[in-house]
Chain A
Amino acid sequence: MISGKNISIAAVLLILGIMLSWQYKSLNERKAVIEYENKREEQLKEELQNEKANNELLAIQIENLRDEIGQYQAAQGDIDQNLALLNKELDYVKMIAGFYPVKGKGVIVTMDSKPSGEYGKMTENDVLRVINEMRAADIQAISVNGERLMATSEIKEAGGYFIINGRQVLPPIEIRAIADPSNVEYALNMTGGLLKRIEAYVDVSIKKSDEVLIPAVRNIGTVVRTDLMIPVQ
């Protein structure tokens, strides 16, 4: 009889436990929904669009990676073929990383303070803003006065000249970018755009070109430093 009692208690406790965990689970799910409760519908639509775009990008990456895996698989056992594939990948990554000089269609933007100097001088901020505007116009490589710009390149003013990648650079500033030239021109010249705001004191010229040359990063050891970083596997 004792064991019968135990069984019924056990059963009751089990049911109670299941109920609790079920409630907890649905509470957690709801929490995720409640997170969106205070957002406006437009915000939600935008977020949904963002998430969808993210997933599309991921799908493309996955497809590309599958292709690459296919190539490496096909090359299995063939050492030469394998090295060729690795070399190809390394070359590509070095090219976008800025380790090779590159050429292509693009623009050359020149800027300097207006000679009169009546409304002030060109500052590092003006240069930074033009570069930023160009970067946002889907460029593929960029340099300033012969210095390839990396993610960690600085542009600092120092009394009449600028320091870029640790090197002194004198105005005029010449920015070269490989990109769809009309994209860049449009981004800079837009009504109410950047150039309109700085034209009072900065002269800017935009030249489109079918072949813009962009140098490799000058000194990989000093400009690109990674000694404080370790990659995460």
Chain B
Amino acid sequence: MKDKIYKTFILIMFLIPGLIIGACLGSVTGRYGGAEMPGVVNPETERHNELAELILAEKEKNTELKLLLKDLERTKADIIEGTGTGEELRKELYNVKLAAGFTEAEGPGITVKLDDADYRKGISPGFLVIHDSDVTAVLNELNNAGAQALSVNSERIIAISGIICTGPTIRINRSRYAVPYVIHAIGEPEKLHYLLDRSRIVSLLRKYGITVEINKEKELRMPSYRYGISSLVTGLEVDTN
């Protein structure tokens, strides 16, 4: 009898803190959690949530598709390797892909972060925001300093990549990005840093208060061009003359 009371006592002693902790965590979730009044639903919030859920669902699908793509790439490589032929060809293919930006790559280099300047009275906002031509000018300086691979906000820059203004965002390859722009460049960190830091474009940007942060990196990871190359080029033929 005494034991039973004791057990019940322990049960309650553990349940109460458990419930309290649970309730605490629940309310931490804020507007979407315990803090919202039950039964009162703001239609705007609801639509907002719906969109957020849809984006998350697409992102989840994105992860799955990427995994599948990686899987298929491995399958293809395995099949080709399994045949044991064309080792030279495979090596060349790999090197060309590395040079052209169609594989992920690693190496030393620098990161450059560009961000709009704060709004100030008396200066036209046009001088305070980063333009597509500013980004291309920075990339050009990096190329001049011997960059071997470039990316902007995880978009690998290839020979035919354009960077273009679309309202308040810029389009790189086929996607749009807003500030900040983060550029990665593989190359000699000292040289890249030295030449970019002293370039005309960077002093011009800094003059207007635009953020230009340059950091040397021992090891950078460069994404591959992510749109696939099979459908990249049509109506183009090799000139055999």
| B238 interface residue per 8 A CB criterion | yes
**A interface footprint on B73-86 (CB within 8 Å = 1, 0 otherwise):** 10110011011011
Q: Is the CB–CB distance between B96 and A90 below 8 Å?
A: yes
A141 lies within 8 A of chain B by Cβ = yes
Judge if B62 is at the interface, Cβ distance under 8 Å. yes
Is A103 in contact with B21, judged by CB distance below 8 angstroms? no
A189-233 interface code vs B (CB 8 A; 1 in, 0 out): 000000000000000000000000110000010001111111110
B interface residues, tally (CB under 8 Å):
111
Are B76 and A69 within 8 A (Cβ)? yes
Minimum C-beta distance from B209 to chain A (A): 21
Contacts of A79 in B (CB 8 A): 83, 85
B179 contacts the other chain (CB 8 A)? no
A116 close to B (CB within 8 Å)? no
**Distance A101 CA – B3 CA, assembled complex (angstroms):** 90
| Known A-B contacts A82-B86, A136-B164, A151-B161; A41 and B54 likewise in contact (beta carbons under 8 Å) | no
A61-B160 contact given A8-B10, A229-B106, CB 8 Å threshold: no
Tell me if B197 is interfacial: C-beta within 8 Å of chain A: no
Interface hits, B99-139 → A, CB 8 Å:
99-109, 132-133, 136-137
Q: Is B202 an interface residue (CB 8 A)?
A: no
Closest-by-CB residue of A relative to B97 is A93
Knowing A73-B79, A98-B100, A229-B149 are in contact, say whether A133-B140 is a contact too (CB < 8 A): no
Known: A65-B76, A230-B105. A12 touches B10 (CB 8 A): yes
A162 to chain B, nearest CB (A): 11
Contact of A170 with B by CB under 8 A: no
Interface of chain B: mostly helix, strand, loop or mixed: helix
Most buried by A among B55, B89, B133, B146: B55
**Is the beta-carbon distance between B239 and A102 smaller than 8 angstroms?**
yes
Chain A contacts for B164, CB-based, 8 A: 132-133, 136
Closest beta carbon of chain B to A182's beta carbon, Å: 14
**Which residue of A has the minimal Cβ distance to B149?**
A229
Do residues A30 and B32 form an inter-chain contact, with CB atoms below 8 A?
A: yes
Decide if A229 touches B148 in the complex (CB within 8 Å): yes
Q: What chain A residues lie within 8 Å of B6 (beta carbons)?
A: 5
A20 to B28, CA, bound (A): 13
Complex formed: what's the CA distance from A214 to B159 in Å? 13
Contacts of A226 in B (CB 8 A): 95, 98-99, 105, 148
Distance, CA A232 to CA B40, complexed state (A):
52
Closest to A165 in B: B143
Q: Is the CB of A5 within 8 A of B98?
A: no
Q: Are A231 and B162 in contact (CB under 8 A)?
A: no
Chain A residues with CB under 8 A of B10: 5, 8-9, 12
Given contacts A59-B65, A128-B136, A229-B105, contact A86 B90 (CB under 8 A): yes
Residues of A at under 8 Å CB distance from B?
1, 4-5, 8-9, 12-13, 15-16, 19-20, 23-24, 26-27, 30, 32-37, 41, 44-48, 50-55, 57-62, 64-66, 68-69, 72-73, 75-77, 79, 82-83, 86-87, 89-105, 124-125, 128-129, 132-137, 139-142, 148-156, 178, 213-214, 220, 224-232
Can you add 13 more A-B contacts, CB < 8 Å, to A19-B22, A34-B29?
Answer: A30-B29, A34-B31, A48-B51, A58-B65, A61-B230, A68-B76, A79-B83, A93-B96, A96-B236, A99-B96, A102-B238, A140-B236, A230-B106
Binding site for A on B (CB under 8 A): 3, 6-7, 10-11, 14-15, 17-19, 21-22, 25-26, 28-33, 47-49, 51-56, 58-59, 61-62, 65-66, 68-69, 72-73, 75-76, 79-80, 82-83, 85-86, 89-90, 92-109, 132-133, 136-137, 140, 143-144, 146-150, 156-164, 171, 174-176, 186-188, 221-222, 226-239
19 contacts between A and B (CB under 8 A): A13-B14, A15-B15, A16-B14, A33-B49, A50-B176, A73-B79, A82-B80, A90-B92, A91-B238, A94-B96, A95-B236, A95-B238, A96-B232, A132-B132, A137-B162, A152-B149, A156-B144, A225-B146, A229-B107
